Copies of this chain bind each other. A is one copy, B any other.
């Protein structure tokens, strides 16, 4: 039996409510996963993540490989111990960062040669290296090393690329040394082309007995929203029912609800914390810029009715002041609230699915969130 499993609890159209079991505990889905790039979800402590009821967080293999490095990670006994987080962790493969941050030198069948964005040193990463790193990190859910073509890539390139991604996935499965302790997710590629998405999925399904879940990669990477939703609607419902479905890199309310509607269980994005650090916060009536002059004397919470720690204790006027005075508490309060907002959205979506009222919930939420102001 695989170390990570999915139990479907209820279904409403294609939308699913379920539970993912992992070596560090269960995850109720659909779920939004905060991103803890370099062993920290920016500005927050692990205790705050627990107060937020974060069920799982992400770590970035590429960043952790560079800092603190695998010698320290191994000595620490893995990422859970290193950062004092005893709930589930998911790590990406490093592929996405290699392609977006690294200065790529060469992509071959063997792997990718790139230079570090920190110190320019030359690194060669093969699928086997990514898996070895993730085995040291000890994440509950590992991702296969994939090539992630940009959103405007041509059909022929995407086709060639997805075939290599499948071959790399096989190599990842083969080199995975802790099969009983860490689940491995495959990544469906294929760009904005439906037939290539299907081809990618069918190839990966041949590895199904070794695969704990299926992710959709290569969306939210520069393609149009129209293309993104088209692919989501096409491929989401085709993902194997008995495994978790993970849409990578999505963290806007509208996108998240579209994803859930199409059978997605898991999502992640740096969006809520990055926005928060820049002073943009979610409210049920859309996003606001907290630094705005109009909030100078707004002695009220960011979002009326929000039950998060920040909204229970601090006002827009105070948080605005912290941003104007460049005090780091402001970034923390905004990040905390934003994460609560997205995680709460998924908790409410879950309840709505269980009640068979997901469509009503989605419509009601969006009618306020997207209303012209």
Residues of A within 8 A of B (CB): 38-40, 42-47, 67-68, 72, 75-76, 81-84, 296-297, 299, 309, 313-315, 317-318, 321-322, 324-325, 327-329, 331-333
In whole angstroms, what is the CA distance A68 to B315 when docked? 13
Q: Is the CB of B327 within 8 A of A38?
A: yes
Q: Is the CB of A42 within 8 A of B328?
A: yes
Secondary structure of the A side of the interface? helix
Which residue of B38, B46, B67, B299 is within 8 Å of A313 (Cβ)? B46
Q: Is the CB of A82 within 8 A of B327?
A: no
Q: Is the CB of A75 within 8 A of B328?
A: no
Q: Is the CB of B45 within 8 A of A83?
A: no
A67: chain B residues within 8 A (beta carbon): 321, 324-325
A72: chain B residues within 8 A (beta carbon): 296-297, 317, 321
Nearest Cβ in chain B — how far from A176, in angstroms?
26
Given contacts A75-B297, A324-B67, A324-B68, contact A44 B329 (CB under 8 A): yes
A314: chain B residues within 8 A (beta carbon): 84
Nearest Cβ in chain B — how far from A46, in angstroms?
7
In whole angstroms, what is the CA distance A76 to B296 when docked? 10
Which residue of B39, B297, B318, B324 is within 8 Å of A321 (Cβ)? B39
In whole angstroms, what is the CA distance A322 to B315 when docked? 29
List 19 other contacts, CB 8 Å, given A39-B322, A75-B299.
A38-B321, A39-B318, A39-B321, A39-B325, A40-B322, A40-B329, A42-B328, A42-B329, A45-B329, A47-B313, A67-B321, A68-B317, A76-B299, A82-B315, A82-B317, A82-B321, A84-B313, A84-B315, A84-B318
Copies, count: 2
Q: Is the CB of A318 within 8 A of B45?
A: no
In whole angstroms, what is the CA distance A68 to B72 when docked? 44
Across the A-B interface, give the 8 residue pairs with the lowest CB-CB distance, nearest first. A68-B321, A38-B325, A75-B297, A40-B327, A40-B329, A67-B325, A84-B313, A328-B328
Interface centre among A46, A82, A325, A332 (most CB of B within 10 A): A325
Which residue of B43, B313, B318, B325 is within 8 Å of A328 (Cβ)? B43
A46: chain B residues within 8 A (beta carbon): 313
In whole angstroms, what is the CA distance A103 to B40 when docked? 41
In whole angstroms, what is the CA distance A40 to B322 when docked? 8
Given contacts A39-B318, A325-B67, contact A45 B332 (CB under 8 A): yes
A313: chain B residues within 8 A (beta carbon): 46-47, 84
Nearest Cβ in chain B — how far from A85, in angstroms?
10
**Taking CB as reference atom, which chain B residue is nearest A336?**
B45
Q: Is the CB of A318 within 8 A of B82?
A: yes
Nearest Cβ in chain B — how far from A294, in angstroms?
13
Q: Is the CB of A296 within 8 A of B68?
A: yes
Q: Is the CB of A318 within 8 A of B83?
A: yes
